[in-house]
Structure 1
């Protein structure tokens, strides 16, 4: 059995010592430690982990065993949870995105993120007002970010950056927002997401 196999490995002093060395090495070289989200409802996603769109939509209950509605947008509002989720691809190619969807999305630093709405959103729409006043109304803004749509011919997953708070906005159709992340972006992600870094 598995238990017997583990016991046999641990009973051998050389194997046990090697396992301890491997665990200590891995612990010393952790790139990040994931954090639990603070949503007031059940959601199995951990901050700074990577997820596919399917996994995110399933975690929010949009997809389940009975239904998987079509989803092509970069944003989704879950009214029951009062949560807006943004799927952000930083480096967009002309072949994957139309000129009207080549938004300017980038990190300003490890906490501030610049994001553009869809081209039809103006300041007086209900959507824009929900974004601007999300704290007063109890709504949450949640960011999922990836560098490219595809890497090595596979669809890239998104890094869950957690919740963000409104800082400022400007423009119309599209609107440009600055969000403040509640958790620092992972250092590796900052270098990728900040397009001013050469």
Structure 2
């Protein structure tokens, strides 16, 4: 089977302690219409093959795809994920987890932006 060289991130923005372990209560949020702040898995170091794959994805031809949803469940049903598109590495800080800022190739739709608990004002 041929490897697709793609990482697909499924992000739940509003995490509750009843649904998620403390070790996966990542901070993930939209910074602007095209920038997204994301935390890697808690054990991923910058030196690890996974960390290197994330920050060097453009050099290695790897694709990053981002899907988000506001909550795990709404009205007793599992919430759908929304595909935000391809993301490209901008910068990172830290390790275990790695805090990465991704630039989305397409703007996040306004209806989804309102739901993402954006930490910066969209102009």
Q: TM-score, normalised by structure 2?
A: 0.93
Which has the bigger relative contact order, CA under 8 A and spacing at least 6?
2
Give the RMSD, CA atoms, in angstroms. 1.4
CA contact (8 A) 2:34 2:105 kept: yes
Question: Please, which of 15, 26, 29 is the counterpart of residue 92 of structure 1?
Answer: 15
CA displacement at 1:197 relative to structure 2:
6.5
1:91-133 CA distance string (max 9 Å, x none): 0010000111100000000100000011100100000100111
Alignment of 1:76-155 (within 5 A): 80-155=3-78
Question: Paired residues, what number?
Answer: 120
- Distance (Å, rounded) in 2 between the aligned partners of 1:138 and 1:197: 31
- Distance (Å, rounded) in 2 between the aligned partners of 1:94 and 1:194: 17
- Distance (Å, rounded) in 1 between the aligned partners of 2:120 and 2:62: 33
* Structure ranking higher in helix proportion: 1
- Distance (Å, rounded) in 1 between the aligned partners of 2:114 and 2:105: 18
* Structure ranking higher in strand proportion: 2
Q: TM-score, normalised by structure 1?
A: 0.59
Structure 1 segments unaligned to the other structure (5+ residues): 1-78
Runs of 4+ in 1 over 2 A off after TM superposition: 194-198
Structure 2 segments unaligned to the other structure (5+ residues): none
2:97 equivalent in structure 1: 174
